[in-house]
A and B are shown apart, each in its own frame.
Chain A
């Protein structure tokens, strides 16, 4: 069984942070809250999201698994004003999700979870650097890089103790350096990896500007971006595979 009430804004941002990567996903309805893990069709970007029971106004579940069309669910959730309450209830018999928003009833047909791409294992990566940075600084870097290029290099200069962002276009370049004073925290090791801006922009959309983002970087390794949602009652981790420059 699953029955929950949640503030629309919270539901919307939760769905959006997964929706930037995939159109459909599996949702685990555990006793302690919901969990979603999904990888995009190209197996390049991944999201791991949890939203605790405490993040809901009310929450009851006993460990089910449903498959949803995220695009449709996002549309429905988008019908609500941000401070309205959304009621969700799973009908086990018909395998439909009943959604009600202030008298508006929507019955969403679910997708067989078996038919959705398998959930990825989180690769165990040994990443040399950890950068704790504000969401708005990531936004600034990504926005500037997008003006000149389709890709962005993220790196750490261990000797100088700085985190840097580089983008090179046909003619123009963007460079940004943040040292220990600009960052919330920095554990510096040699790191530099190139990433597709398409993906990073999508992820950036879902990162709150005031979030504290923990970024883990290595040498031509995937980047991990971790941040809390729902006032600490939920968390999102993104992982993005690099573009390989060397071989």
Chain B
């Protein structure tokens, strides 16, 4: 895997814009940040030593390869630390945008800057961070902090938001972390390419959330290639790698035999998934409402983005839909691998203005995963019938959709059909 593929340009002021918008949308978040500040003052003792339980880590991407790397731990020591880590359970618990932001603002990001090259680094701050990442339970740690944290909320379309940040002087483990056997195996084998190790963990029942934390800590891959991977890139890298593995597994599978339309709604995002008979072909079309966080001009038009792939996949990183593409593709491929069928698949995501702050691509992944678990699909005669059937529910015209979407324009046939 080439990490450069996951790097995109990131404008600082765009990030600031998003924060401002999110605050405007919810004064409660601003109030909540004030509470967080008071809470912090209560928990940190005079010498700035902070005992906590860390469920997750964060690796920034600015300034790569000199990155800011952090341990995330709840400031409320009574809280169940595991609840603060991003996982599919957040969907089951029915978390909304507000709750995600609250949870994450209660999580202190204790950071240090570090070189990403971590081949043999198992001591010091980075060592502790890596231990936390590979452990299967939140780990008790002692953190030395340098001054007060910056109380803020950092939003990103791919990663889960992070809250207050404080500079750490050092970190020590307060317990011996428990590391699952399969993770030890991938860790010890330094001649195992990262892709293979990720796939191995997935097949052993680890979800992508755990795998991307492990990858992020530089604990997978060939020895000389092991480095810290910025959280945002590692999420996409794992979705992509596991997706490619699943796509390979259905390469010769029979096609589904009817056109199905599945639907789910989560956090003011509508998801329609059309599965049609044919070879594997996939497209994500995103429709973002004016006034939503990604399309702030309230009086403007819908923002449309689309990316697609044919039977053999893509040769390059997507142009328009970034991490959402790989997260949605994974969810669909999991379904197809599960029923051992291939299909031509169109996912339409409508982000309405109720989705007022981005919470990360986990929301998309879970929204689509659960579309297949709840209820029965609608059935259509043909792919284009299914699209026409949806037209009334979509916020854009069929003509506009056709111009944007490769699949709505035409579905690839096979020579054997003639």
Contact = CB atoms under 8 A, between A and B. Distances in A.
Interface string A206-246: 00000000000000011000000000000000010111111
Interface string A128-161: 0000000000000000000000110000000000
Interface in A149-178: 150-151, 168-170
B418 interface: yes
Contact of A42 (B406, B410, B412): B412
B413 A196 contact: no
A242 B403 CA distance: 18
A147 B383 CA distance: 27
Contacts of A243: 409-413
Contacts of B312: 41-42
B335 interface: no
Contact of A242 (B304, B308, B381, B410): B410
Nearest to B381: A247
**Residue of A44, A125, A196, A239 ringed by the most chain B CB atoms within 10 A:** A44
B279 interface: yes
Nearest to B306: A170
B417 interface: yes
Interface string A31-58: 0000000010111111000000000000
A103 interface: no
**Residue of B312, B382, B410 ringed by the most chain A CB atoms within 10 A:** B410
Q: How large is the interface on A (under 10, 10 to 19, 20 to 34, 35 or more residues)?
A: 20 to 34
Contacts of A221: 418
A244 B310 CA distance: 14
Interface string B19-59: 00000000000000000000000000000000000000000
Given A42-B312, A198-B310, A246-B384, A239 B413 contact: no
B415 A44 contact: yes
Q: How large is the interface on B (under 10, 10 to 19, 20 to 34, 35 or more residues)?
A: 20 to 34
B372 interface: no
A84 to B, nearest CB: 32
A3 B179 CA distance: 62
B311 A42 contact: yes
A239 B410 contact: no
Interface in B398-418: 403-404, 406, 409-418
A168 B412 contact: no
Nearest to A173: B403
Contacts of A169: 403
Interface in B362-418: 381-385, 403-404, 406, 409-418
A245 B311 CA distance: 18
Contacts of A150: 308, 406
A39 B415 contact: yes
A120 interface: yes
Contacts of A245: 384, 409-410
A222 B403 contact: no
Nearest to B406: A150
A244 B408 CA distance: 9
A203 interface: no
Nearest to B410: A243
Contacts of B416: 43, 120, 123
A43 B404 CA distance: 26
Contacts of B304: 170
A197 to B, nearest CB: 10
Nearest to A196: B412
Contacts of B311: 41-42, 44
Given A168-B403, A247-B382, A194 B409 contact: yes
Nearest to A122: B415
Contacts of B411: 243-244
Nearest to A168: B403
A215 to B, nearest CB: 16
A183 B96 CA distance: 62
Contacts of A120: 415-416
Interface string B294-310: 00000000001000101
Interface string B307-347: 01011100000000000000000000000000000000000
Contact of A241 (B308, B381, B406, B415): B415
Nearest to B320: A170
Contacts of A194: 409-410
B415 A222 contact: yes
Nearest to B382: A247
25 contacts: A42-B310, A42-B312, A42-B412, A43-B415, A43-B416, A44-B412, A44-B414, A46-B415, A120-B415, A123-B416, A150-B308, A150-B406, A151-B406, A169-B403, A194-B410, A222-B418, A241-B412, A242-B410, A243-B410, A244-B384, A244-B411, A245-B384, A247-B381, A247-B382, A247-B384
Interface of A: 39, 41-46, 120, 123, 125, 150-151, 168-170, 194, 196, 198, 221-222, 239, 241-247
